[in-house]
Amino acid sequence: MKILIIGSKVRIIHLKHFSDELVKLGMKCKVILDMDFLEKSLSFNLKKRISTNKKLKVLLNTFEPNIVLLDNVSRLATTILDEKIPLFLLFRGNYWKELEWAKKTIYKSPLKLFSVLKNQKLADRIFRESSMILPISEYMKNEFQIRYSKNKIEVFPVDGRNAADWVQVEKQKLIHPCVGLVQGFNIWGKTRELNTLQSVMRKLPNVTFYLIGDGVYRDEIIPKLKKFENFVWMGNLEYPNEVKKFFSSIDVYLLLSGLEGLGQSIIEAMLMKKPVIASNIGGIPEIVKDGETGFLVNLGDSEQIVHLINDLLSKPDLVKKITTKAEENVKMNYSWEFLAKKFLDILEKNHYK
């Protein structure tokens, strides 16, 4: 069986790991970067669009995939659907809420609103015509089925990691005790929850908080946090090597988010044996079992966060108990080997194998 996997730049490293495991199980796989088959901008250059479309058609005709696994809503899906090749969509984020937030903040100009409408039309076609929808969590499955109830749908938590890659490495020189956060700033509904950090830092002046990440809403968040002496913004760090150093160095990992489909950084923190505190939202509770593999906190509850940080910094036995259980869980349920076998089970169950 031949599987063509299409992903974005930020996901391609993980999709290649996934592909490697599928190959070990007898599949023939090819992983491509979506931007290599798209025009570089949303131009109206018809000749350029035809050229890039032809490039994908040549690949499809030479590789002849039995299915195409698409990692995001992409214009490449149009060609795949037109060619009548079964399309499997990895459904990661709450498309509708993210779109709603974007319309209220960054998509206000007529040109951007026009672009949004085109994207909505494309997304609707992909959602309706895909042969299989693969949401990364039960939460995402429920969100999809509210709007599209007739699709074939299987939960597939594709945010896997190789445990051997996420081990302790050379540490950064951080001020201890410290709490680390890893977060992008490109979706407002997620990013705004970082405002809760102000109350937390005010109540924990002797704990240093290190945040890595960047994005379009940076100026809405970072200036407020920089007013605190116990806050350090590190910008984007090179992934994965510098991020591993960061995880190796922190004492506690904190994810403050207004919405998560699952939570990739949580998986990485758990493999690095760091105790996790995370927002009780979206698909996060499917990884973080409160009091067993980490701790869940309600949105905006700074008192709860402060209490948990103090506990984790003062109770090494609690940290060992939680991190041991968490590491075992992610090694079992989020290894690429396990996920590759799960994917083949999905194919067989739905008669694609």
Q: What is the mean pLDDT of residues 39-54?
A: 57
Q: What pTM, to 2 d.p., does this model score?
A: 0.92
Quick one: 67 and 13 in the same domain?
Answer: yes
The verdict on 38 and 63 lying in the same domain is yes
pLDDT tens, position by position, 88-116: 999 998 888 888 887 777 776 666 666 66
User: Is 39's pLDDT higher than 90?
Assistant: no
pLDDT for 344 beyond 60:
yes
Question: How high does pLDDT run on average in the chain?
Answer: 92
Q: What pLDDT, in 10s, does the model give residues 120-136?
A: 899 999 999 999 999 99
Residues 176 and 80 in one domain: no
Pair (216, 295) in one structural domain: yes
336-349 vs 12-24: helix crossing angle, rounded to 10: 70
Tokens standing for residue 94: 């709450």
SS3 for 182?
strand
As a whole number of angstroms, the distance between CA 165 and CA 161 comes to 8
Residues 143 and 194 in one domain: no
Do 290 and 341 belong to one domain?
Answer: no
Encode pLDDT of 212-230 as tens digits: 999 999 999 999 999 999 9
How confident is the model at residue 51, as a pLDDT?
A: 58
Q: Report the C-alpha gap between 108 and 304 in whole angstroms.
A: 37
The verdict on 169 and 144 lying in the same domain is no
**Higher confidence at residue 106 or residue 147?**
147
Q: How far is Cα 237 from Cα 250, in angstroms, rounded to an integer?
A: 15
328 φ, ψ (degrees, to nearest 5): -60, -40
What is the DSSP track for 279-320?
A: ES-TTGGGT--BTTTBEEE-TT-HHHHHHHHHHHHH-HHHHH
Please report, for the domain that includes residue 76, its CATH number: 3.40.50.2000
Whether 10 and 77 share a structural domain: yes
Residue 246: predicted pLDDT: 97
Number of separate domains in the chain: 2
pLDDT attached to residue 111: 64
CA distance 57 to 167: 41
278: pLDDT strictly greater than 90: yes
Residue 110 has a pLDDT of 67
Residues 6 or more apart whose Cβ sits within 8 Å of residue 64: 2
Specify whether 245 is located in the same domain as 134: no
Q: Clarify whether residues 277 and 233 are in a common domain.
A: yes
* Distance from C-alpha of 251 to C-alpha of 176, rounded to nearest angstrom: 8
pLDDT, average across residues 300-313: 98
pLDDT per residue as tens digits for the range 150-181: 889 999 999 999 999 999 999 999 999 999 99
Residue 304 has pLDDT above 70, yes or no: yes
Same-domain status, 124 and 198:
no
With beta carbons less than 8 A apart as the criterion, state whether 180 and 207 touch.
no
Residue 8's domain comprises 2-160+335-349
Residues 57 and 146 in one domain: yes
Given pLDDT bands bounded at 50, 70 and 90, which one contains residue 351? confident
